[in-house]
Amino acid sequence: MGSKMSRGVTVWFTGLPCSGKTTVADRVAEILKKRGLKVERLDGDTVRKGLTSDLGFSKKDRDENIKRVTFVAKLLTRNDVIVLATFVSPYRERRRLTREEIGSFIEVYTRCSLEECMKRDVKGMYRKAMAGEIKDFTGVNDPYEEPENPELILDTDKETVEESASKVLDKMKSLGYL
C-alpha cells in the first residue's frame, strides 16, 4: 500500500512542561499514520538524548537546541513529511526564527495552568525546581513567553486529548495541509 501524499508541514507544539504537548502530538501522529501519511515526531526528551545531548538549559543552550531541531524539521518538511514537534521552546524570538526558517509552520500553544502542569508532573520536576534542585526550569525560575499569535490554542486543562487532537487536525485541514 503506497503512502498517501500530503504537503510537508511542521506543527510546533509549545507550552510549559507537562502542559500536554507530547500527549496531544502522539495522538495526532497515531491518527495521521493510520491514514497512511508520512509523520515524524520530534520531542524534547528524545532529541536531548541524541542530537543535542551536549546542551544544558541556559538560554544560549535552549536556543541552540531549537536551532538544531529547526534544521531537522525543515529538511523533513521540505520532503513532504508532517513533522509534529513538541518542545517547551520558551522564547518567542527563537520560535519566530524557527517559523521563518521552516515556512510551512503551524504554532500550537498548549495552554495549561501551572497548577495543572504540577499535578501532571510524574517526574517531580516542578517540585525539584521549587526546592532549588533544578535551575533554569521553565515556569518556575525561568520565563515562558506565551505565543502572541499562534495558529491554535489548546486549553489542555479544560479539554480531552481527543478534543485537542481534533482541533489540530481541523486546523491542518483548514490550512490546506491535509
Q: Which residues are catalytic?
A: 89
Cα(98)–Cα(41) distance, rounded to whole angstroms? 16
Dig out the grid coordinates for 60 from the structure: 544560549
Cα(95)–Cα(148) distance, rounded to whole angstroms? 11
Q: What angle do CA 8, 10, 15 make, to 5 degrees?
A: 165
Cα(125)–Cα(42) distance, rounded to whole angstroms? 21
Cα(153)–Cα(143) distance, rounded to whole angstroms? 19
φ and ψ of 88, to 5 deg:
-50, -45
